[in-house]
Amino acid sequence: MCKKVLVIEDNEAKLNKLRQFCADYWPGYQVECRSSYNTALSEVVHRGKFYDIILLDVSMNTYEVNGDASDGEQEPLAGANILRFMKLRKINVPVIVVTMYESFVDGIRIDRLDEGFRAKYPEFYKGYVYYNLKNEDWINKLNELMAGI
Amino acid sequence: MTKTSPQNSKRNFQLRQKYLHIFFSYTKRSSALHSLKSIVDIESLREVQKSIGTFVPTLKAEIEGCLFPADFKELCSTLVSFVRPFSLQSELIWLSSYLIDYQQELHWFLEKKERFEQKFLLGEFADCYDILEEVKGKIGVSLWYYESMFLLYEYWDKRKEGDLLMSACLEQTKDADTNHLQSLVYMLHLRSTTNISPYKFDDDLDSLYKQNKTLLHEDYYRYVLFRLNMFNNLRQEELSFNMMFESLSALVDRYLMAVNVIKASAVNEKLDDELIARARYLYSKTDDKELLPLLAKDSKRMKASYYNASFIGILDSFYGGDYQRTVQLCREYVKGDASLFDVLVVYCRSLVYLGQSYEGIYPLPNAPVNKLCSRIYSVLTEKDNHETVYSLYQMNKNLYGFHLAASMHVFVMKELNEPVEDRYRVYWTSCFDPDFATSAYSDPNAAVEYLNSYPDCHASLVCKATLARIEGSELQSGTISNNVVTPHNATVKMANEDYAAAYQLWSDFYDASEAWLPNRQKAVRNMVSCLHKSGQTGQAITLYVDCLLNDQAATLKVDTDAIIKSLQDNLYEGIRRNIDLAIFMGLNCKDGVDKSFILLEYCETKEVTLPSELIGKLDEPLDRQEVFFAILDDDETLRHYFNIPSLKERLNERLKIINYLVKLDTPNKEVYQQRQKEVEDALLVYRVSKNLNEGKIYANDQAILKYKLTEIDGLFKRFMRLFDMIVNEHSRIYVIDFKHSTVLYTQDGYDGEKVKSKTSISENGIYEVFYSLYDYVLDKFLYSEFGLVAYLSTRVRHGELESKLRPELAQRNLILSMKDNTYQDTSYWREQYNLSPAENTTVNTALAKFSRDFDAEVIDLIKERLQIYDREKKPKGLFNYTIDENELAHKTMEIGILTKDAGGSREEFCRLVIKWLWQKTEVCLTEIRHYIAGEFTEKINGLFETLKADLSTEALPVGHAYSFLQATIAEASSVIASRLKTIECWFNITGTKLDDVDIKQLTYQVCNNTRTTYNQIKVAGKPRIDGESFKIKSSYVLHYADMLSNLVANMIKHGVADETGTKAITLNFAISDKMVAMHFENKVETGQEEHLNQIFTEKLSSKASFFNAEGGSGIAKVNKILRADFQNSDNELKIWAENGTCVTEVKLFTENLRSNVQESACD
């Protein structure tokens, strides 16, 4: 049976890169995408167990952007909230955080978030990749983490 | 006189020689003096000092500094080079070595201090003033003197004199080199103000002194925290710095600090024999009763004066349940000694047990001791005592230097449900205190020994009860009141894990405490705890909710954190998803995700998708449902509830819940109606707001106003007071500007040059205070979780901007990717167009250069330009909120006057400052758009031009490669230009800005919304709108909606239904060039017309209701909107009843309502 990866990402360019990455390096995976906190959480809670890997962004819109006022709200730590929900619902699907931010709301840095995730979610959190538009180092790191699952 | 033995004499000689040698080996005097601090007994130290003194005549003066400064200038003028202390011991010995020469002065001062505190608490302020003047005359000024004087003025209702005294002190020293005491006195002045915001004071101290550059600064920062906020900072590892920094002040300050650091050591359980010896030594010189608890720790028996029989008599009377007598005893006691906080608490408790309302403990109503008692009484009896606890904490800050401050602090902390130990207070109780036995000793035998040292121990009820507490044995009821026996026995049973029996006792205690809130709080806390600890967490939660419904105030002390933590640790396993759990979590859990998770699982058990679908499906009593739904109406919980797919749906969900709450028609109906209005407004804003793909600049100013600015109350009141003084009396007020001051300025830190402070003193005090307020609001506006920077980071800076541009170039193979910080060549052009190696190098060199420059420009834009301007850190930042002197002066007056005219509230002030901040933001955004459209675009265009030139025919042969490259560059250049236009449009404000709206569309929406709100009433009739529509300016949209919804709501609510139960209404609108004419009709009771017309006339003519209609509803409010908010006195509202019909007519002139804005480039 085909393996499935869920990509949770609201930045279109990054999402395309991640899709391309999966196609190039993990061709056996079927890619499903969600681009808001709300739709991602719904997918994870309802169908999370059917995925083999989740690639998760940290900050994103609360709701799908429809060109109206829904865009008015951001969830700066949406990824962290999704991880918490997974823990509460015992959805133990491996998660790799893919972020292009160095720091988040209140100045929390990615390495501190990573430390917290490792401590709180050892069952399914597998680490993070720092994504950068300029270089492709992230590809190797993501490959490494995915191969380790 | 004791004779020195030849052996001692020889040793002393050797010691003197040794230290003489050491002393003179130092080039720096500070280090030389410091070397003497290693001598660890006072006599030897004095000997050595004397010997060196024969060679250095100024030595004594150098050691002592200025012990009795004549004025503020002298107090602040001692400059030294600090050397890091060896230990607390050595600092205490050093102080003792010269204090011995001034024991009489100290003794005299301590008597005066005690007398001042007593007179002050009893409100005899003129006597207090005389005492302070006497102290100043005899031993000069001190930190204590200034603090006491400020406090006195504050409570004597002479605040202006306090401000002027501080101002005069600063004027005196504004041009002098000063030490750190200048700013310390300033902070003491702030601490003594009655409207101080105590939590902000705590926070400010943390932030103000966190700029440590050297170890000296770090130690100084700790000292400031200890000096100004001691009871929150007792747990310091090293206390010697506090003595070192205080050593520049007057003798009395140094002494008081010495006593406090020994007590702090005791609290930290570091009271060793050496420290006790130091305390004993000081006591032998001063007879200071403040030292007695330190000596008591070590003594089997204290001298008789330590055993205060009157105090124990009061406690015995209280423990015996004779509350009438206790009240009398307390009243008598405070006349001679008001410094025992426990007496005040026992007094108030006795009044409550007697069922009496508050009566002063002292005949003078305005005496601070009465203010204290009345607040304690309120804290003990009020259902919601939040504000009284706050005011008690304020008073605690004011009286921080008083004997009773420690006990007060502990009392407040307990009321705030903060962890605090009794040990914090018992070392500040200077007489025998049974609580000392249970708090100061870890060894039960020592505790019992302490108790037994009281001569009447065996006859004392309080001692008997304390003994049982130490031994963990139960008490028999009889001589001791059940108010003591029951909770005591219940506590013993809990300690023995007999939770069922303990629960029963706490339950009995609750039942017996009907009028006694603290006992009920204690009982509920422990009943819940018993259930939780015995593994019945579900029942504990249900009990909590039961109490919440029947006796809400009694639940305030429940340790909800402990329950939540254990639930979270167990991932909520083994606990039923019921309404009680949802209420408990909704009310107490700080984590929105967890609250939402519990709600989701509760909804799942009820087989519903949305929370609002629970309406009508629950079997629980209505009061439980009301609490549940009221808690549920919370954005924080619903935001994480993923079955709600959009913001609009979330608002609709909230509206359904609130409508239900309103319909319940409970005493909270008005609160729900207010919420209903807020959500309706939010929905309206949602429907008519701009397409938010455009502007990305946002700050949730309403949340900032609501949650982030309550702590500036004290500073705001100070601003308004200064505003009055300066504007009306033309006074000149000097203040310290901490932002531009450097306290203890030195490059070297310890052991360097003499340390000065560079304090910036401004004579326009009000500007500085206004600036502090502005700065505080600005900080929240920018950096809080609701602030602009949080949104700017996630919406713009974090990758968003970059990803709008770079992929366009990457897709066209014009930008190179990077590895190990080096741009990697692309093989695309070589492979596609069969380039020669030389051509390939040319292309890749040009692309690498372009990539580097392009990335650099984008990074510069993101990391340097789209930042908050900071002269040093972000000099190119385009969000510039700096204000120059002229603007500051102008805005101080403008906002001061507007605030005063609007009633002088903090809320109004903050609203005006935020409005100003938005205006400043608009200016910044214009600048940013200008920069992106101009300079930035030009730079990017320039890069494309360079790239084109680098790949010109001179570099590449004419052919396919050349043509395609040039065409691709041209195409990319055009795409990037278009993207930059999009990015430029991001820099508009969203959220706060409404679009201008079509009036017909708005009218339909409002009428429809209002009908939806009253969906339980059948209404017939739709709006009919004639004439040509126009766009109404955004600034009037909410006023128009408010007016219309009020009118329609009134018609629906008050109209009479026909036989089918339907209320027929007519809503006709006629739009002409100049006005919108409205004609509405609804049915009313026949025969009631005259009565109704009377009401209408009254409402329409009442000036009072016109001006006070803010927040109200109905006709007066509509009239106010029409005339005031639409700013046109020709607008008209007529309303009358005739022939069973109520007619409403509105004439709304539209000249200033019509939008004349051109469509912008961003639309």
Sorted by where each begins, the domain ranges of chain A are: 3-147
Beta bridge partners of B1147: B1077, B1132
CB contact B652 to A (< 8 Å): no
pLDDT of res. B211:
60
Sign of CA dihedral B700, B706, B707, B711: positive
Nearest residue to A125 via CA among A79, A62, A59, A78: A79
Q: Which residues of B touch A137 (CB under 8 A)?
A: 819
Q: How far is A92 from chain B (nearest CA, A)?
A: 14
Q: What is the reported pLDDT for B1162?
A: 45
Per-residue pLDDT, B995: 63
* Dist CA B849 CA B949 (whole Å): 12
Q: Are B698 and B988 in contact (CB under 8 A)?
A: no
Residue B1034 has pLDDT above 80, yes or no: no
Give B642→chain A minimum CA distance, Å.
Answer: 5
Q: Which residues contact A133 (CB under 8 A, 6 or more apart)?
A: A13, A14, A100, B799, B802, B803, B806, B807, B810
Q: What is the pLDDT of residue B1009?
A: 72
Say yes or no: A38 contacts chain B, CB-CB below 8 A.
yes
Mean pLDDT of B227-241: 91
CA distance B673 to B1010: 13
Q: Is the pLDDT of residue B14 over 80?
A: no
For chain B, the structural domain boundaries read 101-300, 307-471, 485-546, 708-986, 997-1149
- Closest B-chain CA to A58: B794
What six digits make up the tokens of B268?
A: 């930290």
Interface of B with A in 776-835 (CB under 8 A): 785, 790-791, 793-795, 798-800, 802-804, 806-807, 810, 817-819
CB pair distance less than 8 Å for B803 and A11: yes
Q: Quick count: other Cβ atoms within 10 Å of Cβ B871?
A: 8
- Taking residues B531-536, what's their average pLDDT? 97
Fold classification of A3-147 (topology level): Rossmann fold (3.40.50)
Contact B817, B823 (CB under 8 A): yes
For the cut 80, the answer to whether the pLDDT of residue B192 exceeds it is yes
CB contact set of B167 (below 8 Å; sequence gap of 6+): B732, B733, B734, B735, B765
pLDDT in tens, chain A (149 residues): 689 999 999 888 789 889 999 999 999 999 999 999 999 999 999 999 999 999 999 988 888 876 554 445 678 789 999 999 999 999 999 999 999 877 676 667 888 899 999 999 999 999 999 988 777 889 999 999 999 98
Among chain A residues, the shortest Cα distance to B788 is held by A105
- What's the alpha-carbon Rg for chain B, to the nearest Å? 37
* Position with higher pLDDT, B116 vs B10: B116
Query: And the tokens for B983?
Result: 């990015």
Contact present, B1089 and B1138 (Cβ < 8 Å): yes
Tell me if chain A has a CB within 8 Å of the CB of B698: yes
- The answer to whether B990 faces chain A, any CB pair under 8 Å, is yes
Closest CA to B545 of B595, B509, B512, B581: B581
| Residue in chain B nearest A80 by alpha carbon | B593
pLDDT of residue A92: 95
- How many cross-chain Cβ pairs, A to B, lie less than 8 Å apart? 117
How large is the average pLDDT for residues B479-490?
Answer: 94
Under the banding of pLDDT at 50, 70 and 90, the label for residue B1100 is confident
Residue from A46, A68, A81, A98 to probe the interface with B (highest B Cβ count within 10 Å)? A68
Identify the three-state secondary structure at position A73: coil
Q: Is B571 on the interface with A (CB under 8 A)?
A: yes
Nearest-Cα distance to chain B for A85, in Å, is 7
Place of tokens 């009489």: B104
Of A14, A71, A76, Cβ closest to residue B803: A14
Model confidence at B1104: pLDDT above 60: no
Query: So what's the pLDDT on residue B1144?
Result: 94
Cα B632 to Cα B659: distance, rounded to the nearest angstrom: 13
Binning pLDDT at 50, 70 and 90, where does residue B1015 land? low
Give the mean model confidence (pLDDT) for residues B248-264: 96
Q: What distance in Å separates the CA atoms of residue B894 and residue B905, rounded to the nearest whole number?
A: 15
Long-range pairs for A138-146: beta carbons < 8 A, 24 or more residues apart: A138/A98, A139/A21, A139/A25, A142/A21, A142/A55, A142/A96, A142/A98, A143/A25, A145/A96, A146/A25, A146/A26, A146/A53, A146/A96
DSSP-derived 3-state class of residue B1132: strand
Measured CA to CA, the distance from residue B813 to residue B840 in angstroms comes to 13
Task: Using an 8 Å CB-CB cutoff, list chain B residues near A69.
Answer: 647-648, 685-687, 689, 692
Give the integer Cα–Cα distance in Å for A9 and A24.
Answer: 19
Residue B68 pLDDT greater than 70, yes or no: yes
Write out pLDDT tens, residues B1125-1161. Answer: 787 888 999 999 999 999 999 999 998 888 764 444 4
Cβ-in-10-Å burial (0-12, 13-18, 19+) of B1123 comes to middle
- In this predicted structure, the answer to whether residue B1103 has a pLDDT above a threshold of 70 is no
Mutation target among B585, B591, B594, B640 for the A interface, most CBs of A within 10 A:
B640
Nearest to A51 by CA among A18, A106, A93: A93
Distance from the B580 Cα atom to the nearest Cα atom in chain A, whole angstroms: 19
Residue B690 has what pLDDT? 44
Q: Which of B572, B686, B806 is opposite residue A133, by nearest beta carbon?
A: B806
The answer to whether the CB of B217 falls within 8 A of the CB of B211 is yes
Percent of chain B with pLDDT over 90: 52
A62, A37 contact by CB (below 8 A):
yes
Q: Is B644 on the interface with A (CB under 8 A)?
A: yes
pLDDT at B654 over 50: yes
CB contact under 8 A, A11 and B691: no
B323-336 and B341-353 helices, crossing angle to 10°: 150
Closest Cα to residue B1110, out of B1054, B1024, B1042? B1042
The pLDDT tens digits of the residues spanning B565-614 come to 999 999 999 999 999 999 999 999 989 999 999 999 999 999 999 999 99
Q: Do B818 and A134 touch (CB under 8 A)?
A: yes
Q: What is the mean pLDDT of residues B2-15?
A: 67
Query: Which residues in chain A have their CB less than 8 angstroms from residue B799's CB?
Result: 11, 14, 100-101, 133
**Per-residue pLDDT for B13 more than 80?**
no
Residue B695's pLDDT band, with cuts at 50, 70 and 90, is: low
Give the integer Cα–Cα distance in Å for B197 and B711: 6
Contact flag B686-A69 (C-beta cutoff 8 Å):
yes
Q: Give B204→chain A minimum CA distance, Å.
A: 18
Q: B997-1149 maps to which CATH number?
A: 3.30.565.10
Q: Which residue of B has its CA nearest to A73?
A: B647
User: Do B645 and A101 lie within an 8 Å CB cutoff?
Assistant: no
Measured between CB atoms, does A41 come within 8 Å of chain B? yes
Specify burial of residue B1093 (Cβ count, 10 A radius: 0-12, 13-18, 19+). Answer: middle
Instruction: Please give the mean pLDDT across all residues of chain B.
Output: 88
The span from the CA of B1161 to the CA of B978, in Å, is: 12
Q: Does residue A111 belong to the interface with chain B, where contact is any CB pair within 8 Å?
A: no
Q: Please tell me which of the candidates A63, A105, A134 has its beta carbon nearest to residue B785.
A: A105
Reported as a pLDDT band with limits 50, 70 and 90, residue B23 is confident
- Token representation of residue B1158: 């051109």
A12 CB near a chain B CB, below 8 Å? yes
CA atoms A79, A84, A86, A87: torsion sign: positive
B272-317 pLDDT, tens digit each = 999 999 999 999 999 999 999 999 988 777 888 899 999 999 999 9
For residue A64, the model assigns a pLDDT of 83
Overall average pLDDT of the B377-395 stretch: 88
* Mean predicted confidence (pLDDT) in B724-739: 78
pLDDT tier at B803, thresholds 50, 70, 90: confident
Inter-chain touch B817–A134, beta carbons under 8 Å = yes
DSSP strand pairing (B1075-1083 vs B822-823): unpaired
Ranking A40-44, B149-153, B408-412, B952-956 by mean pLDDT, the lowest is B952-956
Angle between helices B405-415 and B386-398 (to 10 degrees): 160
Q: What is the CA radius of gyration of chain A?
A: 14
Beta bridge partners of B498: none
Please report which confidence band the pLDDT of residue B208 belongs to, taking 50, 70 and 90 as the band edges. low
Residue B926 C-beta-side C-alpha neighbours within 13 Å: 6
Lowest mean pLDDT, pick from A8-12, B710-714, B954-958 = B954-958
B675: CB partners within 8 A, 6+ apart: B633, B658, B661
Q: Name residue A8's beta-bridge partners.
A: A34, A56
Chain A nearest-CA residue for B601: A89
Cβ-Cβ contacts under 8 Å, A90 against chain B: 571
ipTM beyond cut 0.85:
yes
pLDDT digits (tens, 9 = 90+) for B760-793: 887 777 888 899 899 999 999 998 767 788 777 7
Query: Has residue B1082 got a pLDDT over 80?
Result: yes
The structure tokens listed for B423 are 């040990």
Lowest mean pLDDT among B147-156, B213-222, B375-384, B653-662: B213-222
**Which candidate in A34, A38, A121 is best for mutational testing of the B interface (most B CBs within 10 A)?**
A38
Q: Give B642's pLDDT tier (boundaries 50, 70, 90).
A: very high
Do the Cβ atoms of A74 and B572 come within 8 Å? no
Q: Which residue's entry shows tokens 């579900």?
A: B538
Task: Return residues 926-985 of B near A (CB < 8 Å).
Answer: none
Question: Three-state SS across B705-766?
Answer: HHHHCHHHHHHHHHHHHHHHHHHHHCCCECEEEEEEEEEEECCCCCCCCCCEEEEEEECEHH
Cβ(B647)–Cβ(B608) below 8 Å: no
What pLDDT score does B1107 carry? 35
Q: For residue B800, which residues of chain A lie inside 8 Å, CB to CB?
A: 11
Mean pLDDT value of segment B429-453: 93
* Token duo for residue B644: 């709600």
B244, burial (CB in 10 Å: exposed 0-12, middle 13-18, buried 19+): buried
| Residue B1157 pLDDT | 47
Shortest distance, CA B819 to any CA of chain A (angstroms): 6
Does any CB of chain B come closer than 8 Å to the CB of residue A58?
A: no
| Rounded-to-integer distance, Cα A9 and Cα A79, Å | 10
Q: How far is CA B458 from CA B445, B452, B461, B936, in A?
A: 16, 8, 8, 88
User: Chain B partners of A38 at a C-beta cutoff of 8 Å?
Assistant: 642, 644-646
Report the residue of A75, A81, A88, A140 to disrupt the B interface, i.e. the one with the largest count of B CBs within 10 Å: A88
Q: Do B802 and A133 touch (CB under 8 A)?
A: yes
- Spell A114-143 as b/e; 16+ CB within 10 A means b: eeebeeebeebbbbbbbbebbbebbbebbe
Per DSSP, the three-state class of B281 is helix
Give the pLDDT of residue B798.
Answer: 60
Structure tokens at B707: 């949650």
Q: What is the CA angle B133-B139-B141, rounded to 5?
A: 65
The mean per-residue pLDDT over the stretch B840-849 comes to 94
What are the tens digits of pLDDT across the range B848-885? 999 999 999 998 998 899 999 998 889 999 999 998 88
| Average pLDDT over every residue of B722-726 | 82
Q: Nearest by CB to A76, from B594, B645, B790: name it.
A: B790
Q: H-type helices in B793-905, by residue range?
A: 800-811, 828-833, 837-859, 885-901
B384-388, B626-630, B1012-1016 — which is least confidently predicted? B1012-1016
Listing DSSP states for B475-516 in one string gives PPSSSS-HHHHHHHHHHHHHHTT-HHHHHHHHHHHHHT-TT-
Helix boundaries (H) for B140-272: 143-155, 159-173, 181-191, 198-208, 215-228, 240-246, 251-267
